């Protein structure tokens, strides 16, 4: 593995130059559920804006979320920000030195903690991210879905047995790279694999049957109506979502259940009189556990009711304001389309 890594491993990823615990930590969190190619530009922008754990801890959550906008799974960004505060407050700004202390930080599980300490400090800890699960399940022909605790236990035990006492950082990067570039999800390249001679499923030509798939579940479908409430000066009302839950802490559009009257919602929730409701084309956004069918409605605020109550969770925003705010990607796209529509009511109002 190490010989293969020296020749074929990835050694020019941005977090591999100067692999401090902070830089490796941010990369590991971004790489959860996200491909390397997608992560690289986000990582570079994030590091430019928050170059140290202290800078991250001091930053406003909104600034952190806006640098995460488009990566999805926003609890990762909230946890990163909270953990940075704890590292500065409780560990004098230094990333914890032990697995248990690292795992006590929000958003850091056993595999992520192990990867950070192995890659940045060469400490001996096994890891079991998605790539390693696939390599180990195939190499040892471990049946079953790794999300089941019995299967995960077997894989952890194999991961531990393979982790060497020396060169841990290089071995850890090597097994990740092997999974990402050779032992790929479909059509693994067993012909060039450095461990093919001993791989149980490579030898029998059955690697794609491993690891077992997650049992299929039918995803429920939920519905919502998003209200694009625009003011006489052409700005749109944004509402900050509660800190916990889907899109927690992000700026989004007010929502209205399908059985509610959107005019009434505007009066009751924001004290705004609106007129001329129009429907825009609906679309589906898929979360891990359900689909959300979104029907956008535009509502024009009548000229004599432009004052919204002074609330920190409400904001009038123009198109230029969206960039610095943390918005869920589908809401950002919807608003960008709305502002740029040929006959956008905002354009009409701005030029009136
Ligand atoms: S031999 Fe094939 S299945 Fe086995 S680890 Fe290598 S690439 Fe994966």
pLDDT tens string 70-124: 888 889 999 999 999 999 999 999 999 999 999 999 999 999 999 999 999 999 9
- Residues enclosing ligand 1, CB less than 6 A? 135, 138-139, 182-183, 188-190, 193, 195-196, 199, 201-202, 207
pLDDT recorded at residue 350: 45
Domain boundary among 164, 187, 209: 209
* Residue 28 is among the residues annotated as catalytic for this protein: yes
pLDDT at 344 (0 to 100): 59
CA dist 59 → 78, 81, 248, 264, 289 (Å) = 12, 8, 17, 37, 31
Residue bearing the CA closest to ligand 1, atom 1:
196
How many domains, the chain? 2
50 near 67, Cβ under 8 Å?
yes
55 and 119 share a domain? yes
From the CA of 26, how far away is ligand 1's center (Å)?
Answer: 29
Within a domain: residue 313?
yes
Distance CA 180, CA 132 (A): 9
| Average pLDDT score over the chain | 92
- 180 and 263 share a domain? no
**Secondary structure letter of residue 258 according to DSSP:** T
**197 C-alpha vs ligand 1 centroid, how far in Å?**
9
Specify whether 143 is located in the same domain as 171: yes
- Does residue 48 lie in a domain region? yes
Q: Report the distance separating Cα 229 and Cα 245, nearest Å.
A: 24
Q: Are residues 234 and 104 in the same domain?
A: no
Residues 235 and 197 in one domain: no
Are 331 and 225 members of one domain? yes
Residue 13 lies in a domain: yes
**Do 177 and 260 sit in the same domain of this protein?**
no
Whether 216 maps to a domain, the answer reads: no
Answer whether residue 215 is part of any domain: no
Q: Are residues 261 and 129 in the same domain?
A: no
Indicate whether 105 and 130 sit together in one domain. yes
Both 49 and 141 in a single domain? Answer: yes
In a domain, 214, yes or no: no
Determine the Cα–Cα distance for residues 50 and 314; give it in Å rounded to an integer.
26
Check whether residue 247 and residue 142 sit in a common domain.
Answer: no
298 belongs to a structural domain:
yes
Tell me how far the alpha carbon of residue 160 lies from the centroid of ligand 1, in angstroms: 19
CA distance 247 to 242: 8
323 CA from centroid of ligand 1 (Å):
44
| In a domain? residue 189 | yes
- pLDDT score at 72: 85
Q: Choose the final residue of a domain: 209, 239, 273.
A: 209
Which residues in the chain come in under a pLDDT of 70?
Answer: 303-309, 342-352
Give me the domain span that covers residue 312.
Answer: 221-351
> Which residue out of 7, 28, 208, 348 is catalytically annotated?
28
Q: In the numeric block, which tokens belong to residue 143?
A: 């049946």
Contact 214, 206 (CB under 8 A): no
Q: Which two tokens stand for residue 166?
A: 């020396």
Protein residue with its CA nearest to atom 2 in ligand 1: 190
Which residue, 178, 209, 240, sits at the end of a domain? 209
Tell whether 247 and 193 lie within a shared domain: no
- pLDDT at 282 (0 to 100): 93
**CATH code of the domain covering residue 195:** 1.10.340.30
Structure tokens of 341?
Answer: 């529509």
CATH code at position 330: 3.90.79.10
């Amino acid at each position: 593995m190490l010989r293969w890594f020296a020749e074929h491993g990835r050694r020019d990823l941005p977090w591999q130059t100067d692999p401090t615990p902070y830089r490796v930590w941010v990369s590991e969190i971004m790489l959860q559920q996200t491909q390397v190619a997608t992560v690289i530009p986000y990582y570079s922008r994030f590091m430019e804006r928050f170059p140290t754990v202290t800078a991250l801890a001091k930053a406003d959550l909104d600034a952190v979320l806006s640098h995460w906008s488009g990566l999805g799974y926003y609890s990762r960004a909230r946890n990163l920000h909270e953990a940075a505060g704890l590292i500065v407050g409780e560990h004098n700004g230094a990333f914890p030195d032990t697995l248990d202390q690292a795992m006590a930080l929000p958003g850091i599980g056993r595999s992520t903690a192990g990867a950070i300490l192995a890659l940045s400090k060469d400490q001996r800890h096994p890891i079991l991210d998605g790539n390693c699960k696939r390599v180990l399940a195939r190499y040892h022909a471990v049946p079953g879905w790794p999300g089941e605790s019995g299967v995960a236990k077997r894989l952890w035990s194999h991961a531990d047995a393979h982790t060497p006492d020396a060169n841990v950082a290089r071995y850890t990067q090597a097994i990740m790279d092997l999974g990402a570039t050779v032992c790929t999800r479909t059509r693994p390249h067993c012909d060039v694999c450095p461990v093919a001679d001993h791989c149980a499923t490579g030898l029998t030509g059955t690697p794609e049957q491993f690891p077992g798939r997650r049992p299929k579940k039918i995803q429920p479908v939920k519905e919502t109506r998003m209200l694009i409430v625009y003011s006489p000066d052409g700005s749109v009302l944004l509402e900050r979502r509660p800190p916990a839950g889907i899109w927690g802490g992000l700026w989004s559009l007010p929502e209205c259940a399908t059985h509610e009257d959107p005019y009434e919602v505007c009066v009751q929730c924001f004290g705004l009189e609106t007129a001329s409701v129009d429907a825009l084309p609906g679309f589906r956004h898929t979360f891990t556990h359900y689909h959300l069918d979104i029907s956008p409605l535009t509502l024009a605020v009548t000229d004599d009711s432009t004052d919204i109550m002074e609330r920190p969770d409400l904001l009038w925003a123009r198109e230029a304001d969206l960039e610095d705010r943390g918005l869920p990607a589908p809401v950002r796209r919807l608003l960008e389309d709305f502002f740029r529509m040929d006959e956008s009511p905002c354009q009409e109002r701005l030029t009136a």
